[in-house]
Structure 1
Amino acid sequence: MQLGNLLVLANLITPEQLDEALDRQVRQGGRLGEHLVAAGALTPEALAAFLAKFPVEPKTIEATGLDETDLTELLIKQIHAFRLRSASEFGDAIKLPGFIVTDLVRLAVERKLLYAKGVRADNSAVMTYDLTEEGKRFANYALEKSQYNGPAPVTLKQFNLQVNQQKITNEIVTFDLVRQRIGDLNIEEELLEQSGPALNSGRAILLYGPPGNGKTTFALRLADVFKDIVYIPYAVTVEGQTIRVFDPSVHIAIKPNSASDTRAPSILRGEEVDARWVACKRPFVVAGGELTLEMLDLRYDPTSKLYEAPLHMKALGGCFVIDDFGRQLVSPANLLNRWIVPLESRLDYLKLHTGKSFSIPFDELVIFSTNLDPEDLMDPAFLRRLPYKIEIGSPSVALFKKILAKECLSHGIPVDEAMLDAIVHRIKVEKGLDLAAFQPRFVLDQVVGSCNFAEEPVSLNPKYLNYAINNLRIKRAEPA
C-alpha cells in the first residue's frame, strides 16, 4: 500500500488533500510529504511522527536481517509449492522488493537451483524460470527443515523495535473521544470518566459486576477508541525458528483506497513500507472460558516445524480481554501467576522447544472481565497490579427505562411511561431481581416472538409480557 493512502487511513489527511498533493507532485516534482506540509494538510511534526512508525523497505539482503541462504531456501520452497515462474511472482510471494528478489534469483541460478526458460509468450519483457533437478531436491531438503513457505520473516530485533514504536499509549484518549466511540451504548457517565485515564495509562483494567450488564460489550467499545495503524509481521524468526504472527482471524488488515492506488507512487521520503508487515487496525483479542496456559506459550508443530504465536503476542499494540475471568479451564491462581511478571515489567519471556528463551515487549491493554467477586479470585498482590478497577453494576431505574424505551421503539411499540414503570416494578418487586442491562432486549424479543407466533400485531400484551419476565428466573415453589 502506498504511504499516501496510509496517511488517509490514519485520518491525518483527507482523500481530497491527497489528490491535490499528488497533482502538485506531478506538476512540480519533489516529495509528496513536502507538498502536504506546504498545503497545510498536516504539520511537519505529524509527518515526521508518522514516518518514524512505519517499517522501511530493506535496500539489500543484509538489511532484511536474514541470511541469504535462508532466503534462498524460502524462495525455492515457494517456487516449488506454488509453481511460480516469474520474478514478479517471486516478489509477491516472498514480500521483498524486486532488486532483492533479482539478487536471490541470480544466486539460485549460480547454484544451479533455477534456470531461465525464456520470455513469456504473452509478454516478451517477462523472463520465466523453473527449478532444476537439483533445485527440486533442494526444495525437498528445505521443506524437511521447515514447511514454512510464506512471506520472508522479520528478525526478533526488528519485531521488538516495531512494537515499541507503535505503543498503545502513543494515542491520547479524551472524554469526547470515548463518548463518540461508545456511540449509542447506554451506560452511566461515571464509567466514561473512569475508563479514560485507564485507557491512557495502557495498564491493566478489571471490569467486574453482576452478569448481563454489558462488561464485554463495554470492553469491545473501549477497544474501538484506538484508531492508529499498526504493522504486524507475517512471521518472526528467532534462532533459526519461524513463528507465525499475522492471523486473519485476529488482525484486521487496512484496505487501500483503490481509487487512490491508481495514482502515481506516493513517495514521501524515497522509501516504501516493508511488505513483510501488514498495516492493520490495533488488534483486539478475546479469550473466554476456553483459555488455557498453553495458549499463552508458543505452540510448536513438530510436523511442520513451525511455531504459532500465542494470543497475547498477536494482541501486541492492541487489547487482550480475558472474558469470564475465573471460569477458565486453568485456575485463576495459575493464570494470574503467568501474568504477574509481564504486567509489572512490561516484558514477557517465551521459550522455543530447543530450550532457548527470548523476550518480547508486553505492550497491550489487558482487560479482565468477571462477574465473580474479584477478592475471591485473586490475592491482594495481584489486585495491586490491576491499577484500574471499574464496576459495571446494575443500571439505575432511569437508565433502565431509557434502554427499555429504546428497545420498544426499535420494534415499533409506542412508549408508555406507566407501562415502563410497571415492567420495572414487576422485575424488581414482584420477581425480586436486580435490574440488568440485558433484560429489556431479553423481554422484548420474547414478547415479539409470542406476538408473531399468535399472528398478532406486536404490542406489550400483558400475558406475553408476563411470560417473558417469568423467563428471567427459574420459577420456584412458594414456601408452605
Structure 2
Amino acid sequence: MSVPTAELQALVARPLALADTGLSRHFLTELMLKHLYDAGLLTARQLMQRLALAGPVLEELIEFLRKEVMIDVHGQGFDKRELSYGLTQRGRDTAIDAYARSGYLGPAPVPIQRYREVVAAQTVHHTQVTAGTLNRVFSGVVLKDALKQQLGPAMNSGRAIFIYGPAGTGKTYITQKLTGLFTDTCLIPYAISVNEQVIALFDPLLHQPVDSAEPSPNLMLNQGHDPRFVRCKRPEVVTGGELGMDMLEVHFNPVTKEYQAPLQLKANNGIFIIDDMGRQRATPMEIFNRWIVPMEEKQDYLTLGAGRHFQTPFDQILVFSSNINPLDLADEAFLRRIGYKIYFGFLQADEYGRIWQQVCAEKGIRFDPALLEFALTQLHAGHQVGLRPCHPRDLLGMAQDRVRYMDGDAAVLDIESLTWAWDSYFVSLNAEVEMSSTTLNRRNDHV
C-alpha cells in the first residue's frame, strides 16, 4: 500500500522558520545572493519561487542581509508597491566567492537525513502488486501465464530480478512496462545537501512531475508540502550499453562546480533497469560487484570531493536484463543474491499468431490466415528459426515497405513480399560464407 498523501505532507511540511529547513543561515544567504547575482533584481515572490522557501523564512534572510548591507531595496512597477531586491558591492563580492566554491543555483536543498526519512516513508516495496493489477497493465500483451506468475511475486519481493533469454523475446518491452504497476506518486527533492555540499537530484529527463492542486506560492503560504520536493510519478531509470562505472558515482563538473546524483540515487522509490547486461563499457563483474552492498543492506555509499563518504538509501526495484546466459556473466555467489531469475524463451505458434494479428490491426493490414501459416511452416520451420515476439512486427513492416515501394495496396500482403522481407531481415548463410572467404583472402594479401 502507498503512503497516504496527508502523511507525506506531514513528513515534509513547509518550513516556516529558518531552523525548520535543516540548513544554516550562512548557507541559505549565500544561495540567495547567488540568485540575486544571476538575476540582478528580484521581488520577494520571485525569490521565494527560486529558493522554494516560504515567506517567513525568506523574511528572516532578507532582514539579515539588509543588516549586513549585502542587499538593498528597489521600487518596482508603476505604483512602487512591490519591492525588489538587488546586491550591494559587498553582496556581489560575497556572491562571487560563493560561486567559486559551488556553482549550484536552484531551490534550497533538502538535508540528507530528511531525504532518508522521506524515501523510507514512501518506499516502493510498500506497493503491493496483485494478479489483477498485473493483468490490467499487460492487457493486450501476449505474455505467457507462467511469466506473469513469476513477475508478480518478484515485484513484491523487494529483491533484484534477473530477466534473460534470446534476443528479441520481449525482455526490454516487458521490463519497461513494469512501471505501470505503480499508480501512486512520490516526492523527489530538487537537490540534497551533505554537510551543505549540494547534489542536484531532480532530473526532468527521468522524473515526471504530476499536476499539483496546490495554489501557486505566495509570501505567507504555510500549507502544503515542502516545495523543495516535487511530486512525481515513481521513477523509471533505464540504461543499456552506455552504462559506465562513473554513472554510478556522484559526478562533479569542474567547470560549473556542481555535483550531480548518480543513476541509482535518481531511481530511488522507483525501478532501475539495466538492459543489455554484458554489453556495457564496464565489465559485468565490475557492475555486479557495485551492487552487492546496496542489494543486501538497502543502502548505498557514495563519495564527494576529498574522499568524503556518505550513506544514501537504496530503495528501488533493480532489474537486470540480458540475452547472455547469467552463468556467463556472474558467479553463483552473486546470482544467489538475486531473488528471481526469469527466462524469456521462444513463443508457441498460437502466441505468435496472436501477435501477428495485433500487428496487422495496428498497421492496417488485412489479416490473411494463409500468409500466417506460410510464415510458420515455410519460413520459420523451414529455416529452423525460433518464434520471437519481434518477428511479426519486423517482417510485416518490411513487407509493407516493399508493397508501398511497388505502388501496391499497403493493406494487402502476399507470399512474395513476405519472402522478400524474410530474406532482407535475416543474414544469408551464403553471404556469411562469401564474406568470410573475402576476409581470408584480404588477410592472405598482406602475407
Q: Same fold per TM (> 0.5)?
A: yes
Match of 2:163 in 1: 207
Provide the rounded CA distance (Å) in 1 between the counterparts of 2:261 and 2:77: 43
The question of 1:253 aligning with 2:209 is answered yes
Q: Which amino acid aligns with 1:380?
A: E
Q: Which residues in structure 2 correspond to 1:236-315 (within 5 Å)?
A: 236-256=192-212, 271-315=223-267
Match of 2:98 in 1: 142
Provide the rounded CA distance (Å) in 2 between the counterparts of 1:319 and 1:123: 52
Find the partner of 2:47 among 90, 94, 97: 90
CA RMSD of aligned residues (A): 2.1
Post-superposition Cα deviations, 1:61-113, rounded to whole Å, max 9, x if no partner, equal 11101110110000011011022321111101101001111111111100001
Over 3 Å counting, the alpha-carbon distance change for 1:46 and 1:146 in structure 2 is: closer
Of 296-305 and 311-320, more deviation after overlay is shown by 296-305
Task: Give the match's secondary structure for 1:224.
Answer: helix
Of 311-320 and 190-199, more deviation after overlay is shown by 190-199
Deviation at 1:193, TM superposition (A): 1.4
Q: Which amino acid aligns with 1:154?
A: V
Find the partner of 1:114 among 66, 71, 77: 71
The question of 1:68 aligning with 2:25 is answered yes
Q: Which amino acid aligns with 1:153?
A: P
**Retained in 1: the 8 A contact 2:209–2:233?**
yes
Q: Which amino acid aligns with 2:134?
A: V
Task: Give the match's secondary structure for 1:413.
Answer: coil
Provide the rounded CA distance (Å) in 2 between the counterparts of 1:107 and 1:449: 70
The question of 1:476 aligning with 2:429 is answered yes
Post-superposition Cα deviations, 1:293-340, rounded to whole Å, max 9, x if no partner, equal 111111112233221100000000101100000111111111111111
Match of 1:426 in 2: 378
Match of 1:412 in 2: 364
Task: Give the match's secondary structure for 2:311.
Answer: strand
Match of 1:335 in 2: 287
Match of 1:438 in 2: 390
Match of 1:19 in 2: none
Q: Which amino acid aligns with 2:296?
A: E
Provide the rounded CA distance (Å) in 1 between the counterparts of 2:280 and 2:77: 60
**Retained in 1: the 8 A contact 2:242–2:280?**
yes
How high is the TM-score relative to the length of structure 2? 0.91
Specify every segment of 5 or more residues in structure 2 that has no aligned partner in the other structure, as ranges.
434-447
The question of 1:377 aligning with 2:351 is answered no
Aligned length: 428
Q: Which amino acid aligns with 1:464?
A: S
Task: Give the match's secondary structure for 1:316.
Answer: coil
**Retained in 2: the 8 A contact 1:336–1:382?**
yes
Q: Which amino acid aligns with 1:218?
A: I
Of 470-479 and 140-149, more deviation after overlay is shown by 470-479
Provide the rounded CA distance (Å) in 1 between the counterparts of 2:59 and 2:304: 33
Post-superposition Cα deviations, 1:278-303, rounded to whole Å, max 9, x if no partner, equal 11111011110111111111111223
Provide the rounded CA distance (Å) in 2 between the counterparts of 1:387 and 1:123: 67
Provide the rounded CA distance (Å) in 1 between the counterparts of 2:162 and 2:78: 62
**Retained in 1: the 8 A contact 2:109–2:189?**
yes
Q: Which amino acid aligns with 1:460?
A: L
**Retained in 2: the 8 A contact 1:427–1:435?**
no
Match of 2:190 in 1: 234
Q: Which amino acid aligns with 1:177?
A: T
Q: Which amino acid aligns with 1:350?
A: L
Post-superposition Cα deviations, 1:206-249, rounded to whole Å, max 9, x if no partner, equal 11111111111101111111122111111111123110100101
Over 3 Å counting, the alpha-carbon distance change for 1:168 and 1:89 in structure 2 is: same
Deviation at 1:261, TM superposition (A): 5.2
Identity fraction in percent: 34
Match of 1:17 in 2: none
Provide the rounded CA distance (Å) in 2 between the counterparts of 1:142 and 1:50: 33
Match of 2:419 in 1: 466
Provide the rounded CA distance (Å) in 2 between the counterparts of 1:327 and 1:207: 15
Deviation at 1:343, TM superposition (A): 0.7
**Retained in 1: the 8 A contact 2:9–2:224?**
no
Task: Give the match's secondary structure for 2:120.
Answer: helix
Deviation at 1:155, TM superposition (A): 0.6
Match of 1:32 in 2: none
**Retained in 2: the 8 A contact 1:84–1:90?**
no
Provide the rounded CA distance (Å) in 1 between the counterparts of 2:253 and 2:303: 14
**Retained in 1: the 8 A contact 2:8–2:121?**
no
Over 3 Å counting, the alpha-carbon distance change for 1:223 and 1:121 in structure 2 is: closer
Q: Which amino acid aligns with 2:422?
A: I
Provide the rounded CA distance (Å) in 1 between the counterparts of 2:267 and 2:418: 43
Deviation at 1:124, TM superposition (A): 4.1
Match of 1:128 in 2: 84
How high is the TM-score relative to the length of structure 1? 0.85
Provide the rounded CA distance (Å) in 2 between the counterparts of 1:222 and 1:84: 47
The question of 1:360 aligning with 2:312 is answered yes
Deviation at 1:132, TM superposition (A): 1.0
Provide the rounded CA distance (Å) in 2 between the counterparts of 1:107 and 1:64: 16
Find the partner of 1:175 among 131, 136, 141: 131
Q: Which amino acid aligns with 1:363?
A: D
Q: Which amino acid aligns with 2:402?
A: S
Match of 2:442 in 1: none
Specify every segment of 5 or more residues in structure 1 that has no aligned partner in the other structure, as ranges.
1-9, 13-44
Over 3 Å counting, the alpha-carbon distance change for 1:123 and 1:278 in structure 2 is: farther
Match of 2:402 in 1: 450
Deviation at 1:48, TM superposition (A): 5.5
Q: Which amino acid aligns with 2:13?
A: V
Post-superposition Cα deviations, 1:380-437, rounded to whole Å, max 9, x if no partner, equal 0111111111111111110001101121222333323232121111232222111100
Deviation at 1:136, TM superposition (A): 1.2
Post-superposition Cα deviations, 1:145-199, rounded to whole Å, max 9, x if no partner, equal 1111111011110111111111001111111111111232221122111111111
Q: Which amino acid aligns with 2:81?
A: A
Over 3 Å counting, the alpha-carbon distance change for 1:51 and 1:58 in structure 2 is: closer
The question of 1:195 aligning with 2:151 is answered yes
The question of 1:216 aligning with 2:172 is answered yes
Task: Give the match's secondary structure for 1:354.
Answer: helix
